[in-house]
Chain A
């Protein structure tokens, strides 16, 4: 665990208490069973916004608290533990694009509304099912954007899209020229296909979309690291649940936790999750540090993918038959984990990027 300031510790504890008491996994189950395209509970999101979480990375001048990325990561990790559904990560990643590339006017127009939670913003980058920022083909001609974005997270509730086009990032409001179609994935969250057909687009400053190290890269790093923070919360909760189960389930007249084969599996998972935690926290710290975030982000997401994958498989396997039932919560973790694994680059993508950034 990173060394936290007093403020960060308070924020994390508050998020932990709230998630455990007000937003346990049973709350997510209700949202899941309602099967609405939006994929989260509006009241829950309003409460989160009231607590100021939507504005953690937004400066005070624009209605935020400017607590930084590590703070936001801590909150998202706690929410991940109880599988709390909200557009927090998507909105923050989109806000970061405005923070990094927006004019004063653009910041003043959008950030206060995002910080208050009144507006859900999201990134619309990939045009196919696999993360591929180099494959962006969306185009803007005389201020009008055209192109189709696949699997836009929170696309079903977003009021503002930060869209990657060939020559940079653009702000597009939901409405005329924007058609949103629900895509129902196994995690029951919102992943819409969004077709932009001559939608009014407002450019953000700062580099072409495909330019290494440009605005898009910086924003994607932030999205990847936040996703990794959610996966960290999910993996550590899955670990705790599994450990508790093994300590109470009796077979062959012994609790399962006494079997050495299982002890070593758990010891290995514990070690891996600690590495994952360090990588995620370093990713968040790198963003707070304001320098080049690329390698730290690929390390965080790459490691989170690998460990999250392993932990979610083991979660089911070590529970035996009960883990296969919908009545038990383990399946939620498995399904959400695979979706997050694919978002903003899978393990292979980040290994390759890490190698390139390291010069080999």
Chain B
């Protein structure tokens, strides 16, 4: 991906920091400070206030929602160092990134790598401005962990395909404008018979049925395709190359999800502060319950170790110019820690941490309950923990199947 050169001098960095600050002051509405909703990605669109719309527009025009994407396609064109400064300054100002979703996290980077020029010009700028919502058409009822078993079929009709079949667990399918899907174009081979297609969700023959989750939200769907016409111009890569492209997209998904735990974490008080509030503090200001104190410390230490590992992976990848092998553990470890934190938080708050709705609970407590439940999915989607462990054991450690 093309990026600008690293700023050569500290003065360059300082200057950039000053520019960012100035821009944020001018463009980030103070009324939105700290009002980010960690669950917004899974809750679907809500009515934007004029401030929120203005903020999204400003970030979109600047390209800073996707800071390291190339400028020519509407990205920010920033170096990694600059992007880091942007993130720091945004955090300092209580600002957040209003541009996200699957387009940003996984589809955009994949298309930048595998798409043709027309496809990039058509899709990337709209993603960078936060104007188009994408959903992921991968899983099917009998193709979850075993994704290559997918059966949804695209028949070649010359200048277009006709798609028939079903996808499931399609996150945000009911709100999405477009779907990146992997479909079967050849029934005689498994991986080699898969093709990567872009499907307009408002095409005739596309039907979505939302499914309610245990957290009470309905962010994912069963998606049915009946004789859906997809122009060949919407095929990414060659026919039969879909498995390779689809897997690259999954790498982006996993990389993003490894930070999933941290993104779902409520900003605000630490576990220890919450524990002092609910379980009390002793005369020296320590969490009164020694068992809880030890477990909070264990979690915090694990979390620090995880962050250090994520940083090490980044540094190593940069040094070798490829993906560090250690990166494959980030998703499993990060999601596990995210779940453990949510469980701890509930335990600390006692029954107050399990409120569903209505009187007697704060907004944060109610969100905590939903977040805890939703978070159970993080070790399932994007390649479950078990599947990640299989990959680590076989591909990295060289351990073999027992059959």
Interfacial residues, chain A to chain B (CB-CB below 8 A): 128-131, 150-151, 181-188, 191, 193, 250-253, 259-262, 309, 313, 316-317, 320-321, 323-327, 330-331, 334-335, 338-339, 341-343, 346, 348, 351-352
Query: What is the chain B residue whose CB lies nearest that of A251?
Result: B146
- B244 in contact (CB, < 8 A): no
A321-B380 in contact (CB<8A): yes
Give the size range of B's interface with the partner. 35 or more
Give Cα A323–Cα B381 distance, bound, in whole angstroms. 12
B212-A326 in contact (CB<8A): yes
Beyond A128-B350, A129-B349, A346-B350, 19 additional contacts (C-beta under 8 Å) are: A128-B278, A131-B350, A150-B352, A184-B357, A186-B354, A186-B355, A251-B142, A251-B149, A324-B377, A324-B380, A326-B212, A326-B216, A331-B214, A331-B373, A335-B354, A346-B347, A348-B295, A352-B289, A352-B291
Contacts of B361 in A (CB 8 A): 183
In the complex where A261-B389, A324-B214 touch, is A348 in contact with B373 (Cβ < 8 A)? no
Contacts of A334 in B (CB 8 A): 214, 373, 376
B354-A342 in contact (CB<8A): yes
Q: Is the interface of A mostly helix, strand, loop or mixed?
A: mixed
- B360 in contact (CB, < 8 A): yes
Contacts of A348 in B (CB 8 A): 289, 291-292, 295
Give Cα A83–Cα B178 distance, bound, in whole angstroms. 41
- B384 in contact (CB, < 8 A): yes
Per-residue contact bits, chain B 265-303, to A (CB 8 Å; 1 contact, 0 not)? 000000000000011000000000101100100000000
Contacts of A186 in B (CB 8 A): 354-356, 369, 373
B373-A321 in contact (CB<8A): no
A317-B354 in contact (CB<8A): no
Contacts of B279 in A (CB 8 A): 130
- B379 in contact (CB, < 8 A): yes
Contacts of A260 in B (CB 8 A): 402
Provide a sorted-by-A list of 6 A–B residue pairs whose CB atoms are within 8 angstroms.
Answer: A129-B353, A186-B373, A250-B142, A326-B213, A331-B214, A351-B291
Query: What is the chain B residue whose CB lies nearest that of A318?
Result: B386
Contacts of B402 in A (CB 8 A): 260
A324-B142 in contact (CB<8A): no
B358-A321 in contact (CB<8A): no
Query: What's the minimum C-beta distance from A228 to chain B, rounded to whole angstroms?
Result: 17
Give Cα A351–Cα B290 distance, bound, in whole angstroms. 11
Question: Which of B142, B355, B379 meets A317, CB within 8 Å?
Answer: B379
